[in-house]
Amino acid sequence: MGTQQITVELLLKRQEVLPYVQQVVEAAETDRLALGWFPLKVYQEAAISERLIVAVAREGHEVRYAGHLLFAVTFPRGYVTQIHVDSGHRRHGIAKRMLDALKAQLGALNYISIGARVAEDLRASQEFWQCQGFYAHGTAPGGKTRGRTLVVRSHELPTQQLFATSGLSHRDPLGLGVEPSASTKLHLLGLNGVFDLGP
């Protein structure tokens, strides 16, 4: 007897997401050390305003919660508040799919970047965010209870802007370009030269 194939689907609309809010809360509670804590109302409001992405696994007629991504927006930037994948569905690219959906959604609305704050001691999480193109650009203090340090990360979206994107990445933290191109010229002028030209 063959096994049925599992397909993962992302739910984005409020009418699809609302029935899963309680399961999202229960899943977040199982990993409170990494995710922090939010009251039920936060998840409900996020679902209603379509700021909660839920991944579900379908196997035949059975549909199960597989993960979620909770985010906030303050135009022109979005912020990932929580991302979680159920332990039985990890290593299948679900977190990446949810992040890609968020990037596409905010990019289509002309947002310029997405931010995330990740506890410094969560090494696997740090690696994940770096692999997804979120470069580290600072730190911030975490909550008083655990006294953690949070790594502040950002991902710039390829939306059209008045000014070019910074070009910052984990490979090029200064945004100078990893490989200097023939068309890009960099001119440096020391302050001594400026002072010599003065009166």
b/e burial code for range 160-198 (CB count within 10 A of at least 16 → b) = eeeeeeeebbeeeeeeeeeeeeeeeeeeeeeeeeeeeee
DSSP H or E run through 16: helix 14-17
What are the two backbone dihedrals, phi and then psi, of residue 136, each rounded to the nearest 5 degrees? -85, 130
Angle at 104 between CA 102 and CA 109, to 5 degrees: 95
Query: What pTM, to 2 d.p., does this model score?
Result: 0.79
Q: How much is the pLDDT for 128? A: 95
Peptide linkage before 76 cis (omega within 30 of 0): yes
Question: Does the pLDDT of residue 2 top 50, yes or no?
Answer: no
Is pLDDT of 89 > 70?
yes
DSSP string, 70-98: EEEEETTEEEEEEEEE-GGGTTSSHHHHH
The pLDDT value given to residue 77: 96
- Is the pLDDT score of 50 beyond 80? yes
The 10s digit of each residue's pLDDT in 181-190 is 555 555 565 6
Q: What is the largest CA-CA distance in the chain?
A: 90
131/67 Cα distance (integer angstroms)? 19
d(CA 105, CA 96): 14
Share of the chain above pLDDT 90, in %: 65
Residues 101, 49, 107, 180: what is their CA dihedral angle, to the nearest 10 degrees? -90
Of the chain, the percentage scoring pLDDT greater than 70 comes to 78
**pLDDT single digits (tens) 169-185:** 556 655 556 555 555 55
CB-CB contact of 81 with 35 (8 Å): no
- pLDDT tens across 116-147, in order? 999 999 999 999 999 999 999 999 998 777 78
Task: State the pLDDT at residue 1.
Answer: 43
